[in-house]
Amino acid sequence: MSRIEVRASGRWRAVEILGGLIVIALAIFALADPQFTIQTLVIVIAAGLVLGGLFRITVGAFATVLPSPLRSLNVTGGVIASVLGIAALLDLQAAVATLVGILAVALLLVGAVEIGVGVARHPPAWLRLVILAIGALTIILSIYVILNMSVGQSILAAILALALLLVGIRNIVHGITGHHPIPRSVDAAVTAA
């Protein structure tokens, strides 16, 4: 298999560049107001829980082709998801603190795993030291976030904004270059000529 370059249409490239600029603007906005960013994230997640829960309840109630235990499981899961989503919407501050806390604990576990990997006998020694340092810094950061949730919200917003920024830059670069490599067999290229 070889790869050939296909140039995207001018309209598609313009859409990619415009989309990239919009995403970068949203990333800058997210960095400027971390509290709004986190609350928006919580609202989107909570709304998803409510809608997903209602869908599961509907499936459990009306999908007569499913076995009874599966229908009951759908209804139960749907009710739990809907209640959690509604609770998050009713108390955004508690939902934000919970989200940041969960992510901080996950980061703590990731740091512990990194230290475990660093302690293992992976040559060379400098790589082990780098892995240990990353693990230790991750644990320190996560503990700091757990102890100071408002900093955790800002860090979470910054990570989300950075991810948006990278996506926006990628879209702009992709739109400017307009190249899209696609796999193509050599046989097809020979028969096409």
Q: Domain limits of the chain?
A: 2-183
pTM beyond 0.85:
no
pLDDT, tens only, 12-35? 888 888 988 988 888 888 778 877
Alpha helices (H) along the chain = 10-32, 34-62, 68-90, 92-119, 125-147, 149-177, 186-192
Do residues 139 and 108 lie in contact, with contact meaning Cβ atoms separated by under 8 Å?
yes
Q: Is the pLDDT of residue 159 over 60?
A: yes
Lowest mean pLDDT among 72-76, 156-160, 173-177: 156-160
Q: Is the pLDDT of residue 5 over 70?
A: no
Q: Is the dihedral of CA 7, 12, 16, 21 positive or negative?
A: positive
- Record the tokens describing residue 60, joined without a space: 């459990």
Lowest mean pLDDT among 54-68, 78-92, 130-144, 147-161: 147-161
Q: Which residue has the higher pLDDT, 73 or 121?
A: 73
pLDDT, residue 25, reads: 86
* Amino acid letter, 26: L
Do residues 119 and 160 lie in contact, with contact meaning Cβ atoms separated by under 8 Å?
no
Band (121; pLDDT cuts 50, 70, 90): low
